[in-house]
Amino acid sequence: MQIIKSVTEMQNISQKLNGKIGFVPTMGFLHEGHLSLVKEAHKKCDFVIVSIFVNPSQFLPNEDLDSYPRNFEQDVKLLSDIDFIFFPQNEDIYPNDYKTWITVEKISAEFCGKSRPTHFKGVATIVCKLLNIVNADFLFLGEKDFQQLVVLKQMTKDLNFKTEVIGCPIVREKSGLALSSRNKYLSEIERKNALSLFEALQLAKINFKNGIVDSQKNISQMQRLIEEKGGVVDYIEIIDSQNLEKISKLKERCRVLIAVFIDKTRLIDNIEI
Ligand code: PAF
């Protein structure tokens, strides 16, 4: 495994690789969720590249850019079986004269985009740049950030990338809590309260089995459950998985998306019905 810091060097190397390149973009502080993406990349590709870059442009000014958990040494250990870690510096990615931004319209403005208005512009821009740098044939993303997955599928399609986007299942703790680097912010009691996200999603699944399909009714019940455990709901939405359109009744293979504040920590999760 090689650690590459320079954009030009990474670009030169990736252009010369003879075989399929699988790419896993990350912001570091890796957990089993990230490693499941690496595992998928290994299965499908000849070379695996993981980027570690806490992308400032996807954080709003009031968000946790400075406190976002980082542990490069531990990440390197966890990635010993890949080919390249791309670890660029901020100045190399966003030099002083940087001016180009990618906006995936409409679907970026919904859900997380409402409370984090410039977030997906930052995500789309960095992933677009990274794909150009690492020359990826396959891009592996977790379904936990479901809206991000749909936004990036749209971007790669609209901009004629050769890259195929592969969504991988959410990895959960035994308790049901979806793995996230931001779980580090949770105290012991908040961790328990955070289980309400998964419980609420399960409730929607059970309701669907029992024929309770009205979206509004499901959303209200989920909201009550979360609030009883001290969570503050940012949004709960029931959507068509393909186009992110809200639907009034639950149906097979639709998605339920939620974002909840557990004290100051904003967590997202979702489930396929
Ligand atoms: O999902 C993430 O960790 C980030 O949004 C990504 C895709 C690495 C872009 O910075």
Q: Which fold has domain 181-272?
A: Pantoate--beta-alanine Ligase; Chain: A,domain 2 (3.30.1300)
The hierarchical CATH code for the domain 2-168 is 3.40.50.620
Distance 27 CA to ligand 1 centre (A): 6
Please indicate whether the domains covering 2-168 and 181-272 agree at the CATH topology level: no
Sign of CA dihedral 196, 150, 84, 52: negative
Report the C-alpha gap between 138 and 33 in whole angstroms. Answer: 17
Pocket test for ligand 1, best of 57, 145, 266, 267 (most atoms within 8 A of CB): 145
Q: What is the pLDDT of residues 148-178, one digit of tens each?
A: 999 999 999 999 999 999 999 999 999 999 9
- Ligand 1 pocket residue status of 126, Cβ below 6 Å: yes
Q: How far apart are CA 193 and CA 187, in angstroms?
A: 10
- Whole-number Å distance, alpha carbon 28 to ligand 1 midpoint, is 9
> Percent of the chain, pLDDT > 70?
100
193 in contact with ligand 1, CB cutoff 6 A: no
**72-95 pLDDT per residue, tens:** 999 999 999 999 999 999 999 999
Strands 21-26, 47-52: pairing kind: parallel
Any ligand 1 atom below 6 A from CB of 145: yes
What is the chain's mean pLDDT, rounded? 98
Annotated catalytic residues are: 34
The domain ranges of the chain are 2-168, 181-272
**Residue 242 has what pLDDT?**
87
In ligand 1, the atom with minimum distance to the C-alpha of 181 is 3
214: which DSSP letter? B
Rg (CA), the chain: 19
Tell me, what's the pLDDT at 54? 98
**Tens digit of pLDDT per residue, the chain (273 long)?**
999 999 999 999 999 999 999 999 999 999 999 999 999 999 999 999 999 999 999 999 999 999 999 999 999 999 999 999 999 999 999 999 999 999 999 999 999 999 999 999 999 999 999 999 999 999 999 999 999 999 999 999 999 999 999 999 999 999 999 999 999 999 999 999 999 999 999 999 999 999 999 999 999 999 999 999 999 999 999 999 988 999 999 999 999 999 999 999 999 999 999
User: How many angstroms does the Cα of residue 26 sit away from the middle of ligand 1?
Assistant: 5
Percent above pLDDT 90 for the chain? 99
Q: What is the pLDDT of residue 203?
A: 98
Q: pTM value?
A: 0.97
Question: Taking every pair of C-alpha atoms in the chain, what is the biggest distance, in angstroms?
Answer: 57
Partners of 86 in the β-ladder? 4, 51
HSE-up of 212 (CA within 13 Å, CB side)?
13
What does the DSSP 8-state code read for residue 181?
Answer: G
